[in-house]
A = this chain, B = another copy of it.
Amino acid sequence: MINIAVCGATGYTGYEIIKILLRHPKAHIKVLTAKLDKPTKISEEFPELKGKIDLACEELVVNHVLKKKVDLVFLALPHRVSMEYASRFIDKGKIVIDLSADFRIKDVKVYEKYYGQKHIYKDYITRCVYGLPELYKNRIQRTRFVANPGCYPTGSILAVAPLIAKKIAAKDTIILDAKSGATGAGRKAALGLIFGEVAENLMAYKVGVHQHSPEITQELSTLAGKEVDILFTPHLVPIRRGILTTAYVSLNKKADLSSLLRLYRSFYKNAPFVKIYDEGLLPQIHDIVNTNYCGIGLALSLDKKKVIIVSAIDNLLKGASGQAVQNMNLACGFPETMGLE
């Protein structure tokens, strides 16, 4: 049994972490923190939790959290805010699962360009493992500091990783056309997120400049052993949760679908949360919503030289909180799927 603090408990990802941990046989939530005008029980903010957990959300003060003898801290804080807290909990020997982007990007200059501010805890970046278990399970099992991947990168990287790792993709630009539900932007008051603006609307946004673009590039390039060129276009669609990513990859040579599917199944044979779809089938959001699964399906162009890959994840689970608990399981030596099925 480990004792846990969830910092940022009233956001969508904090809330989902709490719901998972309540079903987790080895987890005990000791502390919840949130930015609120006054101490508020979490069950007042989310009535569904009433009778299940009645902790009050307190202001995040590191020493207060340490006094509660927690073993592990989930940081579901805004980018840039997370940085300081992560470093301080690490210094005190806590296991930290950081859901922000602050330690995902290895190249500080790239981070500073895309997130628009100085990184003042550079030394911690190298101590941190990028928490995509399908690529880095062994390293996550040995770390105490995980940078939990972004939601878009999770869907995009899982969609194309086998082609990159196996050197089957041509050097052409990889197109990643991603469609995300509105909770991906967080639980915050913003004009662009209100129902009247989002419902019955579709838009592409931050084309070419989205902060998840360098994260995807970094991971795919690492996997390829050379720079991989991607074109990532996020879209906002009127669903609450889910990301569907349609990836377009040119191949080195003609392929057949059954070989590609075999390749994918083999690549993900130790990945309990990846489901490869049979020929002719593609994942939909309904298949994976409210689960930690990533569904992946493939189709070929008529000339068999391009492959279209569709991946589907729940942005709040495999794209955030579910993956965070998956990382906790690995870092703590629990079964990878514990509490997540």
Chain A interface residues toward B at CB < 8 A: 12, 46-48, 50-51, 172-173, 175, 177, 179, 182-183, 187-191, 193-205, 207-208, 229, 231, 233, 235, 237-242, 244, 246, 248, 250, 275, 277, 281-291, 295, 299-303, 306, 308, 310, 312
Assembly CA distance A171 to B293 (angstroms)? 38
| Residues of B contacting A200 in the complex (Cβ-Cβ under 8 angstroms) | 199-200, 239-242, 285-286, 289
Contact B191 A189 (CB under 8 A): yes
Interface pair B183/A196, CB less than 8 Å apart: yes
The answer to whether B308 touches A207 (Cβ under 8 A) is yes
B173, B193, B242: the one contacting A195 at CB < 8 Å is: B193
Q: How far is the CA of A36 from the CA of B189 in the complex (A)?
A: 18
Q: Are B202 and A242 in contact (CB under 8 A)?
A: yes
9 A–B contact pairs at CB < 8 A?
A47-B277, A190-B194, A200-B289, A207-B299, A208-B300, A229-B303, A233-B308, A235-B244, A235-B246
CB pair A194–B182 under 8 Å, yes or no, is: yes
In angstroms, Cα B174 to Cα A301, docked, is 12
B299 touching A208, Cβ below 8 Å: yes
CA distance A240 to B205 in the complex (A): 21
Q: Could you tell me if A204 and B51 are in contact, using CB atoms closer than 8 angstroms? A: no
Report A279 CB to chain B, min CB distance, Å.
Answer: 12
User: With A202-B179, A202-B239, A207-B308 as given contacts, are A246 and B231 in contact (CB-CB < 8 Å)?
Assistant: no
Contact at A201–B284, with CB atoms within 8 Å? yes
What residues of chain B lie closer than 8 Å to A282, measured between beta carbons? 203-205, 207
| Extra contacts besides A47-B287, A196-B240, A204-B244 (13): CB < 8 Å | A47-B283, A172-B172, A177-B246, A179-B235, A183-B196, A188-B194, A189-B193, A194-B195, A199-B238, A200-B200, A200-B240, A205-B282, A208-B299
CA distance A250 to B173 in the complex (A): 9
CB-based contact B291/A48 at 8 Å? yes
Which of A51, A246, A250 is most buried by chain B, counting CB atoms within 10 A of its CB?
A246
User: Once the chains are docked, how many angstroms separate the CA of A160 from the CA of B201?
Assistant: 22
| Known pairs A189-B190, A248-B175; A202 contacts B284 (CB<8 A) | yes
By a CB distance below 8 angstroms, the chain B residues around A303 are 229
The reply to whether B194 and A308 form a contact with Cβ atoms under 8 Å apart is no
